[in-house]
Amino acid sequence: MAFIMTRIDVGDFEAWKPMFDQDVPRARESALGYRLFRGIDNPGEVFVQLEFASANDAEEARERLVASGVLDRFTDRSGPTVVEAAESFSG
């Protein structure tokens, strides 16, 4: 299991979300699922978590995402970074 984590300040979430849904770069093509998180203090700050079966699948999706240039319009961002779970807890 591997993930792509990206943080973006999209400004207007409602305007950004339809573009995300189109998935022009096909970053979610082989994803098992995704989660979107929004900042409480800044609802335009979005955290995207994409889940993949393997690190290879995640790396390929990351390459498509970066090559597409869709993230280039966001100056306040970090990622996309491919990660794996180091530890988890359910309470």
Tell me if 69 sits within 8 A of 24, measured CB to CB. no
Every domain of the chain and the residues it spans:
2-83
Share of the chain above pLDDT 90, in %: 97
What is the residue-averaged pLDDT of the chain?
96
Q: Which of 11, 3, 79 is nearest to 45 (CA)?
A: 11
CATH code, 2-83 = 3.30.70.100
pTM of the model: 0.92
pLDDT at 51 over 90: yes
Q: Which of 37, 35, 66, 38 is nearest to 49 (CA)?
A: 35
The predicted pLDDT at position 91 comes to 85
Identify the burial level of 73 via C-beta atoms within 10 angstroms of its C-beta, where 0-12 means exposed, 13-18 middle and 19 or more buried: exposed
- Tokens matching residue 89: 């807890």
